[in-house]
Amino acid sequence: MIETIAGGVCAPKGFRANGVHCGIRKNKTKKDLALIVADKRCATACVYTTNLVKGAPILVTKRHVADGYAQAVVVNSGNANTCNADGVEIAEKMCALVEAHTGVSAEDVVVASTGVIGQRLPIAPIEAGMPALAAGLGDGSDAAAEAIMTTDTVKKEIAFRFVLDGKECRIGAIAKGVGMICPNMATLLMFITTDAAISPAMLQAALSEDVKSSLNMLSVDRDTSTNDTLCIMASGLAGNREIIEKGADFRIFCRALHCVTSAVCRMIAADGEGATKLIECTVSGAATLKDARLAAKAVVCSDLLKAAIFGADANWGRVLCALGYSGAKLDVDKIDLDFRSAAGTLAVCRGGAGLDFSEAFAKEVLSEKEIFIDVNVNLGKKRATAWGCDLTYDYVKINGDYRT
């Protein structure tokens, strides 16, 4: 039984958070600096962007979590601290400021930045904002979630409770990102906390496996950012027997983790830049999990399909086309395809050939806010889901002049 609860990253025992406006951004009503601090050192696991151009904070964070433990997360928005000569130095100063104001060793601080690339990140506003940020630590998951937003239009925060070894455990997260991402604004950041007791190695195993079916199945624009960072910290304060190997407890933990990550994927896709609709594509009947993932991901990545969904046009040929170039093993003559939403289910293709359908009903189905694309390739038993959003005029507008 896994249930939604309030509290975000502060829902699990042993975590405090806060967010403030420190002045990296000119707009004084927008918070731009976030801090999460744990009561004790936590087993910690991270996953980072695969982009060869990596933000300086990632280099520093990798060093700090190399021993499998961390105790705090500091994040700024408004500047990615990437492609700057002094980037590493600035990221290290941010960690030192956390140590000075919270007592957590700088070596146990995870640091992240999100915003424009190639502009120096000044330390002065961070230095000025840190005392109030640290002093205000408490039940501030909300403020932290707000402080890491860039062009996000909604705050991304979630928490669940579940039972491990007879003990109630909690897992919560904050995230930002309006795409799978991009250099200058939509860098995906996600910080998860839990009070479950789990070893660093098992935490990393759970996280690395989970992203294959969560964040790696999400796309707004197929641009992989330089600063993507996903971090999970486990305080162990729930009191369960520590998870140190694969088994029943590990599987329960993984399910709870996936509740968090898949919920965040849906939030990010729905808030994709300029998006008016969430697209969720599920490919079932695949011969292998890899085939199912390749196929589902290709569908939500197709600009043509995304534009058709924006226009509520049941252009199913674009789904077949994307499946065809996805790299997944297929037999075109076996593909079944439905469009589905709160308005109903529209069957459009059976055995690779089109069905007659009502254009009026199609419009109705595709005019909803959440569009499900259900594909059965009828070759096996594997299934995967991918998330994306429609492609709209506003995506072009937001990205046509972001920097200036």
Which one of the spans 56-64, 146-154, 157-165, 353-361 is the region binding its own copies (CB under 8 A)?
Answer: 353-361
Stretch that binds its own copies, among 135-143, 235-243, 284-292, 390-398 (CB under 8 A): 390-398
Nearer to its own copies, 71 or 226 (CB): 226
- Residue 14 in contact with residue 39, Cβ under 8 Å? yes
Considering only residues 212, 303, 342, 369, which one is a binding residue for its own copies as defined by CB under 8 A? 303
- Strand 189-194 and strand 229-234: pairing? parallel
Mark residues 166-205: x for contact with its own copies by CB under 8 A, - for none: ----------------xxx---------------------
152-169 as b/e: b if 16+ CB within 10 A: beebbbbbbbbebbeeeb
CB 66 to its own copies: min, Å = 21
Q: How would you class 103 by CB atoms within 10 Å of its CB: exposed for 0-12, middle for 13-18, buried for 19 or more?
A: exposed
146 vs 277: CA distance, rounded Å: 22
Contact track, its own copies, 240-259, x by CB under 8 A = --------------------
248 near 339, Cβ under 8 Å? no
Q: Is 139 helix (H, G, I), strand (E, B) or coil?
A: strand
66 binds its own copies (CB under 8 A): no
- Write down the least CB distance from residue 306 to its own copies, Å: 8
Q: Cβ closer to its own copies: 101 or 350?
A: 350
Catalytic: 114? no
> Which of these segments, 3-11, 17-25, 132-140, 349-357, binds its own copies (CB under 8 A)?
349-357
**Bridge partners of 42?**
70
Provide the 10 A C-beta neighbour count for residue 88. 15
Contact set for its own copies, span 259-298 (CB under 8 A): none
Q: Is 393 left (phi over 0), alpha (psi -120 to 50) or beta?
A: alpha
Active site residues: 187
